[in-house]
A and B are shown apart, each in its own frame.
Chain A
Amino acid sequence: MSGSSSGPRRVLGLVGLLTRPSRQGRAAILLPSVAFTVTTAILLTVVSGTLMFMRDDRPGDDFAPGYMVLSLAALLFLAVPTVSLGASAARLSARRRDDRLATLRLLGASTREVSAFTVIEATMIAAAGNLAGIVLFGVLLPLVAQLRFFGERIGVAALWPGWPVLVLVPCAVTVLAGLSAVLGLRRVRLTPLGVRQRTDPQRRSLRRTATGIAVLAALVLVLSQIGMFTAVLGTAVVITIVLGTFGAGLAVLNLVGPPVIAARGRALARKASTPARFLAGRQLADHPAPVWRRVSGLAMISFVAVIGGVGLAMAGQLDENDAMADQVIFAADMRTGVLLTLAIAFVMLSCSVAVTQAAAVLDDAELIIALDRLGMPVSTWERARRTTVLLPMRWAALGGAAGGFLLGLPLMGAAVVLTPTAFLVVAVTFAAGFALVRLALTSTRPVVTVVRRAPDRVF
């Protein structure tokens, strides 16, 4: 032997070898790439909009802070699902590498080499998607510029975010993709047999749920006393606290979601009288975190729907005959902003659900094959799969809405929060969200069929 190649060269060689498109791998590359494209395009659009509201001098001094607060709130709400979609995409692209990386470890590749390979491949896929996202943003920009704010069309010039933002946002998404891939593959790096041994049930303690509830109570308390702080801390700090509280509320939902799902799964498995409910219960009990991730977008969107519904209710309370022109415009802009935020959130949710469902089928391939061998009817498997999605989805939707109402009440009062408009927005959001998730579930049925019919080619 003339000598082995150096580490970096070996890693680059592996990347070249293992990123070749394959029959099965094509979809696993394409789907995250598209998700990254959407993530970058939407994130650029939202950041551009927020910057516009902060910089534009069209609103008068009285309304400028209002526009700024609302646009920051929208940015916060949309940043969460956007980042979550990016992370889902990264996890999906990591999924197809799992087995190959475990094989590399078995063949003697070092932890460092496997890590480097992971980062490089995830970054490449994300970078390609992000570049396409910049192009998509270029296409969207003139369309979004047609929207009416401040009583007129906003125009491309006002929406243009500047070159630094255009570079920074895709770079940030790319870094996130690399980090997600590394975190997702920790187990593979721990042991060469890592992903082959997915048997450890993830125990979610009651302590975590209790902590979440305590944090939520503390947030409600802070918001109920927020008026006292305004004089001491100033408006800007108080606004930051309010937005931070909303962000923390969303974080609490994600903290509490998995243990609640695990508890429901255990109860379902205990009482199950059919194989479908039994299997679904065990799946929920053993894998609450990935199950929650598949539906957590709906929790967020329900949370946003409540706050958005409150915004619409407030805008609707304005008497246009008595109001000043600026007030009417502000109310109309608030309505547009809420609907726009919800629409964008739905786009993110549909992308996220499609990506996570596709990843779920790949995750469950061995289970699907095992049950198929035993002769489990397709209808039984579909029922089990539906239960593992719809049951946590109900909890996610209810949890999100409850969180929104809890945090909205002390801030804006029952008269504004508990209005028919707010409830209508929440109801429509629930209906649309459930329909979307069911659609995503149905759309992945062909993937399940492929896994069942050609198990030898999957592995």
Chain B
Amino acid sequence: MDTHDSPAPVLVATDVTKAYESTIALAGASLSVSAGESLAIMGASGSGKTTLLHCLAAVIPPDSGSIRMSVPGAQPVELAGLDEEARSQLRRTRCGFVFQEGLLLPELSALENVALPLMLTGHPRPEAERAAAPWLRSLGLAGMEDRRIGQLSGGQAQRVAIARAQVTGAPVVFADEPTGALDSATSSDVMDALLYATSGQGRSLVLVTHDAAVAARCDRTLHMRDGRIVREKVAR
């Protein structure tokens, strides 16, 4: 699949490959993501969609190919050449994450979970918590700031994860099956919240999902098979 032409791409991946020993996870995937765009990546299990997401989000380095992140107000960065420390810094400052299991810390309250990325970038805790609170409120979690993650429903926990992904002002948010563990009604609510908090605010969203209904809510959908992007569908 060729890269998607767009006037202002924040993320451009070209011929990305990744193998785990003898298993080829990515076999030359190329794509681009524009500022404010929501992009869904679909495919069967083992098609390479999560590995692609991890490469795009600087969680793992690709074996070959190029991934270039260009966000306003900062120098473009080539992800493929970054070492572990640099990738960590990039994730801290430019990426937000929402995963199926949330990857929220059960030891922390909802507010503290959202404030944590700001603390990691050096903000004092009171300031980080002050900045985090409005995000929780805007996602319908007012009054639940002090609850532990285990005291929230699945949908509420995902909203906390969405708030956490937004709090640093990350220009790109990556979501891996964000509605995978939710019923259809809650799933729809979470997607509303996710789209409001990302493309609704001019940020880009890259989302991996099995759910066609979830993908249909995004601007564009890429289908993967055997580590390659084989089809693209643009929402009307």
Contact = CB atoms under 8 A, between A and B. Distances in A.
Contacts of A278: 112, 119, 125
B116 A272 contact: no
Contacts of A366: 103
Nearest to A449: B84
A245 interface: no
B183 interface: no
A200 B149 CA distance: 10
Nearest to A373: B97
Contacts of A199: 106, 148-151
B59 interface: yes
Contact of A374 (B91, B125, B148): B91
B104 A370 contact: yes
- Majority secondary structure, B binding face: helix
Nearest to A198: B106
B95 interface: yes
Interface stretch (A315-323, A376-384, A403-411, A430-438): A376-384
A376 B91 CA distance: 9
Interface residues of B, number: 33
Nearest to A380: B120
Contacts of A456: 50
Interface residues of A, number: 31
A375 B107 contact: no
A278 B106 CA distance: 14
B97 to A, nearest CB: 5
Given A273-B124, A375-B120, A380-B120, A370 B103 contact: yes
Nearest to A366: B103
Nearest to B90: A375
B174 to A, nearest CB: 9
A274 B125 CA distance: 8
B128 to A, nearest CB: 9
A347 interface: no
Contacts of A285: 107
Given A197-B150, A200-B150, A275-B119, A377 B105 contact: no
B210 interface: no
B88 interface: yes
A201 B85 contact: no
Interface in B97-141: 97, 99, 103-108, 112, 116-117, 119-120, 124-125
B120 A372 contact: no
B3 interface: no
B89 interface: yes
Contacts of B116: 275, 374
Interface string B140-166: 000000001111000000000000100
A367 interface: yes
Contact of B88 (A200, A282, A378): A378
B108 A282 contact: yes
A451 B151 CA distance: 27
A286 interface: yes
Contacts of B84: 378
Nearest to A369: B103
A371 B104 CA distance: 9
Contacts of A201: 107, 148
A275 B122 CA distance: 9
A283 interface: yes
A375 B95 contact: yes
Nearest to A265: B107
Interface centre among B97, B108, B119, B164 (most CB of A within 10 A): B119
Interface string A437-456: 00000000000000001001
Contacts of B64: none
B97 A374 contact: yes
Interface centre among A199, A283, A286, A287 (most CB of B within 10 A): A199
Given A199-B106, A278-B112, 15 more contacts: A278-B125, A279-B107, A283-B107, A285-B107, A370-B103, A373-B91, A373-B97, A373-B99, A374-B91, A374-B92, A374-B164, A377-B88, A378-B88, A380-B120, A456-B50
10 contacts: A197-B150, A201-B148, A275-B116, A278-B125, A285-B107, A372-B88, A375-B87, A375-B95, A377-B88, A378-B85
Query: What 3 A-B pairs come out closest when comparing CB atoms?
Result: A199-B150, A375-B92, A375-B91
